[in-house]
Amino acid sequence: MDFEIVMQELEALGKERTKKIYISNGAHEPLFGVATGAMKPLAKKIKINQPLAEQLYATGNYDAMYFAGIIADPMAMTEEDFNRWIDGAYFYMLSDYVVAVTLAETNIAQVVADKWIASGEELKMSAGWSSYCWLMGNRPDAEFNATKIVRMLDQVENTIHDAPERTKSAMNNFIYTVGISYLPLHEKAVETAKAVGPVEMKKDKKKSSILLASENIQKELDRGKLGFKRKYVRC
């Protein structure tokens, strides 16, 4: 299936209501407003196609960029490719749910994520922390260095309240993910969540959100989810 046909198919799947929801979250034109579930039959037809994924991502069209993440071949992507993708990710639904997710399926995920976390740029930092969330929620605990994760939890505790807004959300999610999905540091994550307390996340033209990792961890513990791992990172 070629690029033009895929764009036509995506456009046909677009809904005005979905488009409005995406725009309210930070997306901007061009976009069609395709629900992610509606993309699945098209993804099944195409399967994995990195050259097509690159063409779609380069359009700047939100739906095409999201679909690019679904059909991308992460193992064929280099650090330079990921840097190009994060540079094109203009809001959090791309940085955290397309780029970070795709990165989490590679062997270079931690190396790239560490650089993004250290970048000082809101969406790069957000994608870096999010990559760790996707990684820890899927891969065996043995793949992570506990000492490094302790340092990262300490970093979150010391900097989250002054971090950029989207980065706050990803850092908060990191505490929660360590608390539920990384058993060696469950207790440490619970302590960190308590020390951090409520985190205010300001939003443009909307009421602030209050993030509370300790509450989220407790909810999952009550549901018997301690040690939970996803089968797949990408849906």
Q: List pLDDT tens digits, range 213-225.
A: 999 999 999 999 9
Of the candidates 47, 20, 24, 49, which has an alpha carbon nearest to the alpha carbon of residue 35? 20
- Residue 33's pLDDT is what? 98
Residue extents of the structural domains in the chain: 1-72, 92-235
Segment 158-182, tens digit of pLDDT: 999 999 999 999 999 999 999 999 9
Q: What is the pLDDT of residue 232?
A: 87
26-53 pLDDT tens trace: 999 999 999 999 999 999 999 999 999 9
pLDDT for position 126:
98
Average model confidence (pLDDT) across the chain:
97
Written as six digits, the tokens of 9 are: 């198919």
235 has a pLDDT exceeding 70: no
Q: Residue 205 has what pLDDT?
A: 77
pTM, full prediction: 0.96
